[in-house]
Amino acid sequence: MSDRDEGRERAEQLVAAADQLFAAGVMSHSGHANLSARLDGERLLLTPGFVRGLRPEQLATVGFDGRVLAGELRSVSAEIIAMHSAVYEHRPRVGAIIHTHSPAATAFAVAHRPLPCRTEPMLRFGQAEEVPVVPWGPRGSDISVRGIADVLHRHPTTAAVLLANHGLLVFGPDAAATAHLVVAIEESAEAEIAAAAIGGAVDFPPGAQEAVRAAIARAAS
């Protein structure tokens, strides 16, 4: 596959992921989000800041150093290149990143409270631990990017972080898998908030993660 064809395929995957998020009802009222896909060790595809009705040709190719190599980005989108690049540089296996202001997950970010893993979809879609909180910093600033890098270092197996007073940042092997995890995290945050009204959520029993993995393996065999 040529670089051009690969880029087109990744762009279409990001469009499909954005549509999936809207269909699932996990977006904020504004519809704000940014999605990216790794192209190689130095470049990524990045969406504009608002992704409702996104088309592949609207994506820009940018370097990890912040240079726009193809397409156009508004300044509001250019600010977050460093955030995406930091994740790709610290997680070589990550192929796609999604940032949203999903309301329930953002409630945990605003409260500076990690989101526990207490729902099975989180286990199944790659977040078998609490979602940690990155301390607040101005969006795209060195403070914010260093905060993300520090949390990724301290939580080497997390597939998501909460950005304090801001929103949710999720990463995975591809756009579809990452979108599935965004939905799972938002549903889990909603369930945590609802459970608080009836006595509070309860942790999984010991061995839950292993049991889920075994069930997935049996189904795939």
Confidence band of 139 (pLDDT split at 50, 70, 90): confident
pLDDT bucket at 169, cuts 50 / 70 / 90: very high
Domain that holds residue 79: 3-220
Band (pLDDT 50/70/90 cuts) for residue 73 is confident
Model confidence pTM above 0.95: no
Count CB atoms within 10 A of the CB of residue 115: 27
Instruction: Give the CATH number for residue 199.
Output: 3.40.225.10
Beta bridge partners of 168: 100, 162
Confidence of residue 5 (pLDDT cuts 50, 70, 90): low
- Give yes or no for residue 3 having a pLDDT over 70: no
State yes or no: pLDDT of 1 exceeds 60: no
pLDDT tens digits along 110-125: 999 999 999 999 988 9
**Phi, psi for 199 (deg, rounded to 5):** 110, -10
Quote the strand ranges of 52-211, DSSP E. Answer: 60-63, 68-70, 96-100, 133-134, 160-163, 167-172
How do residues 81-109 score in pLDDT, each as one tens digit? Answer: 999 999 999 999 999 999 999 999 999 99
pLDDT at residue number 216 = 74
For the stretch 27-48, pLDDT in tens is: 999 888 999 999 987 899 999 7
> How many domains is the chain partitioned into structurally?
1
First-to-last alpha carbon distance for the chain, in angstroms, is: 30
Distance CA 134, CA 148 (A): 6
| Gyration radius of the chain over CA positions | 17
The answer to whether the CB of 15 falls within 8 A of the CB of 55 is yes
The chain-wide mean pLDDT, for the chain, equals 91
